[in-house]
């Protein structure tokens, strides 16, 4: 559809922005915007949560209407220009014409229990072959990432060292161990390295009785660390001890999920983004409705099922993959965040994200209203 009417911020919202249509914005020849971004800019109009709410209500009290921000996936601009378009924008007066199509607007699909479902997901079942060597596959995968220049977080280095020790009967090339940041003593005292090594030996049915006892101790140590993290988060909720019994089911469910939880990569790349048990507990206890206790009951919950949390986090992070990659390339070791007006828009909700300088997810949550919403 071609809009030849006068270009104003409000009519761009009414025709293109409100339903997040993809538009092509033709810029006036010689204008400041055309000099920066070319004759045509294509993408969806990016609004902050506050801007979208005010525009939907017909108010423009605090909306800066002189710039139109565009979230663009054009291939002929670089990441710096992409972010300038998204967070700076093009001048409204520089837009000569806007062309857009009435794309099919996907309605929010809900579970029977009322939570949203994550859109555009195809679920495939996979049955491993009985002769498949999982350990060699994982080892090869980690080595390929390492050789590709991907920065392995500590838990992947521990996994690679442990699997190698397990496969090679407690032997590892000294240079490889050093390159991963370990020596003999540090590996012997690292419960996670030992866990992966003993897991391999158990899976291959070569674990000794002494090693079985050691494996149980290592698993107990790792679980104790997770449990301490849970206790600290419960304490942070300031729930009264005498009232905790009311939340036995929730705490039991969290405890069970911790038994199987291992650190995981959430976004792949040269700088990998991951969460550990502390990240997981921080997010789950504050923002999964059925697990919220104490002060955390005032935080904004995710509108999705607990079982879909990891997939949701991956999809939200994927929306800003280029921004994360550029940040860590230009600012190694420095934390990354998208909060406030830079919050991430996904499936009609806004999310705030904080990642530490090592790539560990600190928190992710929906933006709510008020100081305690997060």
> How far is the C-alpha of 300 from the C-alpha of 302, rounded, in Å?
7
Domain boundary among 190, 207, 224: 207
Ranked by mean pLDDT, the top range of 31-45, 117-131, 225-239, 289-303 is 31-45
**171 close to 195: Cβ distance less than 8 angstroms:** no
Angle subtended by helix axes 154-167 and 134-147, to nearest 10: 130
pLDDT at 198: 98
Whether residue 112 lies inside any domain: the answer is no
Average pLDDT, the chain: 90
Whether residue 121 lies inside any domain: the answer is no
**Residue 223 and residue 201 share a domain:** no
Q: What is the arithmetic mean of pLDDT over 102-120?
A: 73
Q: Is 58 left (phi over 0), alpha (psi -120 to 50) or beta?
A: left
Alpha helix segments (H runs only) across the chain: 9-12, 32-37, 49-57, 79-87, 134-147, 154-167, 174-179, 184-188, 191-203, 209-236, 248-260, 277-287, 309-318, 321-330
Domain boundary among 207, 229, 248: 207
Phi, psi values for residue 58, rounded to 5°: 85, 5
**Burial (Cβ within 10 Å: 0-12, 13-18, ≥19) of residue 249:** exposed
**Residue 240 and residue 202 share a domain:** no
Domain boundary among 186, 207, 228: 207
> How far is the C-alpha of 70 from the C-alpha of 64, rounded, in Å?
14
pLDDT band at 73 (very low <50, low <70, confident <90, very high): confident
> How far is the C-alpha of 193 from the C-alpha of 199, rounded, in Å?
10
Whether residue 127 lies inside any domain: the answer is no
**Residue 340 and residue 251 share a domain:** yes
The string of pLDDT tens digits covering residues 131-181 is 789 999 999 999 999 999 999 999 999 999 999 999 999 999 999 999 999
What percentage of the chain exceeds 70 in pLDDT?
92
**Residue 141 and residue 14 share a domain:** no
pLDDT-wise least confident of 8-17, 61-70, 91-100, 307-316: 61-70
Domain span at 329: 211-366
**Residue 201 and residue 265 share a domain:** no
Task: Specify the DSSP class assigned to residue 28.
Answer: P
Whether residue 372 lies inside any domain: the answer is no
Tally the domains of the chain: 3
Whether residue 128 lies inside any domain: the answer is no
Closest CA to 283 of 271, 266, 269: 266
**237 close to 294: Cβ distance less than 8 angstroms:** yes
**Burial (Cβ within 10 Å: 0-12, 13-18, ≥19) of residue 95:** buried
Whether residue 282 lies inside any domain: the answer is yes
How many Cβ atoms from other residues are within 10 Å of residue 156's Cβ?
Answer: 21
Residues 6 or more apart whose Cβ sits within 8 Å of residue 295: 236, 237, 238, 239, 372
**275 close to 360: Cβ distance less than 8 angstroms:** yes
**Residue 48 and residue 87 share a domain:** yes
Phi, psi values for residue 265, rounded to 5°: -80, 130
């Amino acid at each position: 559809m071609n809009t030849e009417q006068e270009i104003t911020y409000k009519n761009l919202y009414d025709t293109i922005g409100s339903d997040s249509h993809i538009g092509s914005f033709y810029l006036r020849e010689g204008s400041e915007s055309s000099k920066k971004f070319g004759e045509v800019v294509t993408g969806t109009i990016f609004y902050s949560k506050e801007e979208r709410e005010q525009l939907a209500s017909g108010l423009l009290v605090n909306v800066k209407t002189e710039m139109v921000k565009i979230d663009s996936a054009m291939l002929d601009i670089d990441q710096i220009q992409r972010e300038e378009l998204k967070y700076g924008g093009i001048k409204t007066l520089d837009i000569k014409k806007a062309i857009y199509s009435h794309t099919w607007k996907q309605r929010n699909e809900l579970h029977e229990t009322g939570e949203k479902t994550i859109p555009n997901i195809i679920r495939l079942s996979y049955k491993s072959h009985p002769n498949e060597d999982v350990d060699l596959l994982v080892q090869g995968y980690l080595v390929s990432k390492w050789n590709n220049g991907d920065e392995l977080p500590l838990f992947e280095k521990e996994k690679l060292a442990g699997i190698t020790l397990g496969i090679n009967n407690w032997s590892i090339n000294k240079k490889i161990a050093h390159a991963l940041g370990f020596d003999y003593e540090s590996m012997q005292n690292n419960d996670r390295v030992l866990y992966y090594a003993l897991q391999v030996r158990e899976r291959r049915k070569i674990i000794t009785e002494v090693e079985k006892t050691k494996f149980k101790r290592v698993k107990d140590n790792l679980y104790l660390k997770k449990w301490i993290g849970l206790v600290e988060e419960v304490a942070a909720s300031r729930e009264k001890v005498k009232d905790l019994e009311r939340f036995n089911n929730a705490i039991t469910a969290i405890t069970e999920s911790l038994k199987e939880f291992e650190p995981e990569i959430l976004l792949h790349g040269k700088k990998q983004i991951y969460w550990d048990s502390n990240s997981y507990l921080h997010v789950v206890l504050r923002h999964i409705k059925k697990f919220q206790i104490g002060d955390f009951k005032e935080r904004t919950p995710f509108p999705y099922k607990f079982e879909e949390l990891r997939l949701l986090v991956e999809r939200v992070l994927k929306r800003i993959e280029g921004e994360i990659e550029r940040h860590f390339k230009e600012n190694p070791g420095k934390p990354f965040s998208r909060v406030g007006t830079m919050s991430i828009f996904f499936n009609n909700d806004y999310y705030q994200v904080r990642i530490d300088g090592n790539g560990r997810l600190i928190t992710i949550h929906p933006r709510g209203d008020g100081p305690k919403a997060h």
